[in-house]
Amino acid sequence: MAVARVALDIPARALADAFDYDIPPNLESEARVGCAVLVEFGHRKAVGHVVDVVASSDVPGRKPLCAVLSPPRFDEVSARLAAWIAGEYVAPLADAVRLFLPSGSVPEVAKTDDGWQLVRPRVRQATERVVEICGDAGFVPAVSATRQRAVLDALAAGPLTTGELNALLGPVSSVVTRLSEAGAVRVRERQRSRGPAPVSRPAPRHEELSVGQSGALDTIDAAQPGSWVVVKGVTGSGKTEVYLRAIEKVRAAGRGAIVLVPEISLTPQTVGRFRSRFGDEIAVLHSRLSAGERFDEFERVARGEARVVVGARSALFAPVTDLGIVVIDEEHETSYKQGSSPRYHAREVARRLVELRSAVLVTGSATPSMESLHAAETGRCALCELPERVGGGALPEIDVVDLGAEFATGNRSMFSRRLVEELIGVQERGEKAILLMNRRGYASFLLCRECGHVPGCDRCSTSLTFHETGPVLMCHHCAARVAVPPVCPKCESPYLRRFGAGTQRVAEEVALVVPELPVVRMDADTTSNKGGHERRLAEFESHSSAVLVGTQMLAKGLDYPSVTLVGVVTADTTLHLPDVRAGERTFQMLEQVAGRAGRGPQGGRVIIQTYWPEHAAIRAVVTRDPEVFYAQDRGERRDLGYPPFGRIANITLTARVRSRAKEHADVIARTIAEHAPEQVRVLGPSPAPLARIKDRYRWHVLVKASEGHPLSELVRAALAAVPSASDVSVAPDIDPLDLM
Ligand code: ADP
Ligand code: ZN
Ligand code: ZN
């Protein structure tokens, strides 16, 4: 009798492998890899997913499958990729398998008064809402004119479903409601079609490729199946055009494509460029899609109707037929790392995916990650450079203001005189400005306002974090604790300040220095409710002259032609995060600002305020020479054995009771140390930089190993050896992007 290997979602056995079940003769033809099945586990029923079918098994006392609940939703190759993800990122196999299943498609077993009951996934609705233009109502008040125009433009080519509109433009239901009240559009219900309405595909207008672009395209063309090509080129150097051409070639050969872009870049313009080349062959996978819409898109891809999938991180798992190429744009973006289990990095999964499917991986960025550069240096991928913008294009002027020098001359404000002058200029000329307050997380640090010194750890290359309790300074790498010094350890100034100011203070400061200039604030606080983001931007657009104050989320939206000034209030806030990648984050953010700001006819200027003007991340941006930063960062990481020159695992333990998190962390640290060979170091446990979130105390254990070390196996073995505690949750993060 054949045996099905089934991934089961059983929290107490989280890191267990698949479980074996006999396939009874009546299910022989149905039970295949990718099917959801119903099984018995202990005395209950459970839903699982078949990840393999084998001829026999030596597991004793096997039970038969009870039922097959769904047709196959993924194939053998996906099952192998899921197993790799679970192994590499020390995650439950069921979590990895679920990546391949659109949410809402998985049946569940629910407990009821009289036993267990199977909850089938929601059926998709038979009708959908379609929006179409029906008249010209002119300008409708009370919604942003820009949003109205965007909706009407999108509908100009024909009706779209509300789902399609949302996927293209973000939440627009309020705009659609107003437009329909005014008689400009009509919303009606219609029967769901099998696929989307056919979109006419304009013949591509092909520009002549630049030398760099042709070179990159040739390299991709010549790439062996399973290999990886890195395209390094500033914004506007024509990378997207290279992706489009490479995908056209793949399509001409009858194969499919996946394109990943950061969620925040999944704009109508981006999608439009792909749609204009590939028409209704594209499927867009977006977090704004409802579960039903997402399911439908997966189905279209599985049926082979859509062969080019454009989407955020999770689009990697779409069932594209005969995959030929995977493109990851803005490869350095942190959003490619998943924050919950399995904590995978899309780049690493994509590398494995193209190997398994004999496809080619292309990653592109203006500021490639050190992992990509290191891979290129060691010959594990090809590197193509696009050093220039197509069609030239003016770059903004960049000026650095030394805040330490500013303070020395008596200026106690958070704005330099220079920045104030520029803001006044913006107001007088009726222009617009953006002020970035680059703040992440809640960690704060101590900074000397006179010399810019930030107390750091003697042993690790990170700054010490200020903790209210104590108060005390703490290193989150080695758990060292240091008393808060009364004066600056370097220059003995008494002006030591806790740093970590928010956007609110920046907004208040603007109101103080240029009261005539309207201020719009945009950060996690002001945009947390639905549509908050678009309302803030609409407000900023509605003014003829204004300042937009926000966190680094604004760095991506710098394509406003009317913005002539971008001020980075303090570049230092990320430089001092307890994070080995602090410099990298700052560099990437500043590069983005420097590459994008001031694109309009009036040109523009970037002002970077910092206490650390000689930091390589800042000098690299000002001198427009990324190697200034990379050389320094490479050296530091190599010396300290940080990724990609070494490996790190960060295991976070959380519990409602502080001592429980700590006790469990102690046991885990000890167990790993017992399992670990000589070359592996276990650091901690120590309180996590975010020591408490939502009433849960957080502790962490860091494990450092040499490059290429099978760190995941070590962590998995150790975690499996520690009995789980129901009141403590354990979250292993392999090769983490931050240590928060
Ligand atoms: P990137 O993805 O690197 O930011 P894009 O591919 O978006 O760059 O190119 C920037 C702009 O230049 C786009 O408007 C694009 O249509 C145009 N473009 C790209 N390649 C060429 C080319 N070879 N000749 C002329 N224009 C080009
Ligand atoms: Zn330390
Ligand atoms: Zn000092």
Residues 6+ apart with CB under 8 A from 615: 571, 575, 583, 586
Q: How far is CA 24 from the centre of its chain?
A: 44
Instruction: Compute and round to an integer the Cα radius of gyration of the chain.
Output: 27
Query: Any idea what the Cα angle at residue 336 is, between residues 331 and 341, rounded to 5°?
Result: 155
| H or E segment to which residue 362 belongs | strand 360-365
> Which amino acid residue places its CA nearest to atom 14 of ligand 1?
236
Which of these, 242, 268, 494, 239, lies nearest to 388 by C-alpha position?
239
Query: Any idea what the Cα angle at residue 607 is, between residues 396 and 511, rounded to 5°?
Result: 125
Q: 471 alpha carbon to ligand 2 midpoint, in Å?
A: 18
pLDDT at 387 over 90: no
* CATH entry, 3-118, from 2.40.50.140, 3.40.50.720, 3.40.228.10, 3.40.1440.60: 3.40.1440.60
Spatial distance between the Cα atoms of 418 and 613, rounded to a whole number of angstroms: 15
Residues 6+ apart with CB under 8 A from 737: 334, 337, 345, 581
Spatial distance between the Cα atoms of 646 and 272, rounded to a whole number of angstroms: 41
What pLDDT is attached to residue 524? 58
> Which amino acid residue places its CA nearest to atom 20 of ligand 1?
238
Ligand 1 pocket test, candidate residues 390, 556, 558, most atoms within 8 A of CB: 390
What pLDDT is attached to residue 439? 56
DSSP state, residue 639: H
What pLDDT is attached to residue 193? 52
Q: 669 alpha carbon to ligand 2 midpoint, in Å?
A: 17
**Is 39 within 8 Å of 94 (Cβ atoms)?**
no
Peptide bond into 342 cis (omega under 30): yes
Q: Which residues pair with 461 in a beta bridge?
A: none
- Residues 312-321 have a mean pLDDT of 94
What pLDDT is attached to residue 194? 46
Amino acid in position 195: G
What pLDDT is attached to residue 498? 74
Least confidently predicted of 183-192, 567-576, 725-734? 567-576
Residues 6+ apart with CB under 8 A from 554: 434, 436, 522, 548
Q: Is 679 exposed, middle or buried (0-12, 13-18, 19+ CB in 10 A)?
A: exposed
Q: Quick one: pLDDT band at residue 440, thresholds 50, 70, 90?
A: very low
Ligand 1 pocket test, candidate residues 209, 241, 591, most atoms within 8 A of CB: 241
Does the beta carbon of 686 sit less than 6 angstroms from any atom of ligand 1?
Answer: no
Q: Quick one: pLDDT band at residue 167, thresholds 50, 70, 90?
A: low
Q: Quick one: pLDDT band at residue 317, thresholds 50, 70, 90?
A: very high
DSSP 226-266: T-EEEEEE-TTSSHHHHHHHHHHHHHHTT-EEEEE--GGG-
pLDDT at 133 over 50: yes
Residues 6+ apart with CB under 8 A from 639: none
Question: Which ligand lies nearest the alpha carbon of 580?
Answer: 2
Does the beta carbon of 209 sit less than 6 angstroms from any atom of ligand 1?
Answer: yes
What pLDDT is attached to residue 336? 94
pLDDT at 137 over 70: no
Residue 360's φ and ψ, nearest 5 degrees, are: -120, 140
Question: What is the percent of the chain with per-residue pLDDT over 70, rounded to a whole number?
Answer: 86
Least confidently predicted of 48-52, 76-80, 147-151, 299-303? 147-151
Question: What is the percent of the chain with per-residue pLDDT over 90, rounded to a whole number?
Answer: 43
pLDDT digits (tens, 9 = 90+) for 15-69: 778 999 999 999 999 999 999 999 998 888 889 999 999 999 998 989 999 999 8
Least confidently predicted of 155-164, 423-432, 666-675? 155-164
**Is 580 within 8 Å of 573 (Cβ atoms)?**
no
Q: 634 alpha carbon to ligand 2 midpoint, in Å?
A: 20
> Which amino acid residue places its CA nearest to atom 15 of ligand 1?
238
What pLDDT is attached to residue 441? 38
Does the beta carbon of 132 sit less than 6 angstroms from any atom of ligand 1?
Answer: no
pLDDT digits (tens, 9 = 90+) for 558-576: 667 778 899 998 887 666 6
What pLDDT is attached to residue 198? 46
What pLDDT is attached to residue 280? 83
Does the beta carbon of 592 sit less than 6 angstroms from any atom of ligand 1?
Answer: no
pLDDT digits (tens, 9 = 90+) for 60-98: 989 999 999 888 999 999 999 999 999 999 999 999 999
pLDDT at 230 over 70: yes
pLDDT at 393 over 70: no
Least confidently predicted of 275-289, 333-347, 354-368? 275-289
Spatial distance between the Cα atoms of 705 and 211, rounded to a whole number of angstroms: 42
- The structure tokens 């839903």 sit at 47
Q: 498 alpha carbon to ligand 3 midpoint, in Å?
A: 13
pLDDT, mean over the chain: 85
Spatial distance between the Cα atoms of 80 and 100, rounded to a whole number of angstroms: 12
Neighbours of 526 (CB within 10 A): 18
Q: Which residues pair with 481 in a beta bridge?
A: 474
Q: Quick one: pLDDT band at residue 191, thresholds 50, 70, 90?
A: low
Classify domain 394-442+501-635 at the CATH topology level.
Answer: Rossmann fold (3.40.50)
Q: 489 alpha carbon to ligand 3 midpoint, in Å?
A: 7
The architecture of the domain spanning 127-191 is: Orthogonal Bundle (1.10)
Hey, where are the domains in the chain? 3-118, 127-191, 211-390, 394-442+501-635, 646-734
Spatial distance between the Cα atoms of 595 and 168, rounded to a whole number of angstroms: 25
- Residues 330-345 have a mean pLDDT of 93
* Higher-pLDDT residue of 11, 615: 615
pLDDT digits (tens, 9 = 90+) for 592-614: 887 777 666 677 889 999 888 89
pLDDT at 548 over 70: yes
What pLDDT is attached to residue 12? 65
* Higher-pLDDT residue of 212, 411: 212
What pLDDT is attached to residue 649? 94
What pLDDT is attached to residue 654? 92
* CATH entry, 646-734, from 3.40.190.170, 3.30.70.600, 2.60.40.10, 2.70.98.20: 3.30.70.600
The pTM assigned to this predicted structure is 0.80
Residues 6+ apart with CB under 8 A from 409: none
Q: Which residues pair with 360 in a beta bridge?
A: 325
Classify domain 211-390 at the CATH topology level.
Answer: Rossmann fold (3.40.50)
**Is 453 within 8 Å of 489 (Cβ atoms)?**
yes
* Higher-pLDDT residue of 125, 733: 733
Least confidently predicted of 5-14, 101-110, 240-249, 380-389? 101-110
127-191 against 211-390: fold identical: no
Spatial distance between the Cα atoms of 727 and 733, rounded to a whole number of angstroms: 20
> Which amino acid residue places its CA nearest to atom 16 of ligand 1?
241
Which of these, 91, 579, 585, lies nearest to 349 by C-alpha position?
91
Does the beta carbon of 236 sit less than 6 angstroms from any atom of ligand 1?
Answer: yes
Q: 304 alpha carbon to ligand 1 midpoint, in Å?
A: 30
pLDDT at 454 over 50: yes
- Residues 512-522 have a mean pLDDT of 90
Q: How many CA atoms lie within 13 A of 520 on its CB side?
A: 23
What pLDDT is attached to residue 3? 96
Q: 207 alpha carbon to ligand 1 midpoint, in Å?
A: 9
Between the ranges 174-178, 273-277, 342-346, 458-462, where is the mean pLDDT highest? 342-346
Does the beta carbon of 572 sit less than 6 angstroms from any atom of ligand 1?
Answer: no
pLDDT at 618 over 80: yes
What pLDDT is attached to residue 116? 64
Q: 236 alpha carbon to ligand 1 midpoint, in Å?
A: 6
pLDDT at 665 over 50: yes
Q: Quick one: pLDDT band at residue 474, thresholds 50, 70, 90?
A: confident
Question: Which ligand lies nearest the alpha carbon of 488?
Answer: 3
Residue 364's φ and ψ, nearest 5 degrees, are: -135, 145
User: In Å, how far are 51, 90, 94 from 17, measured between CA atoms?
Assistant: 11, 11, 9
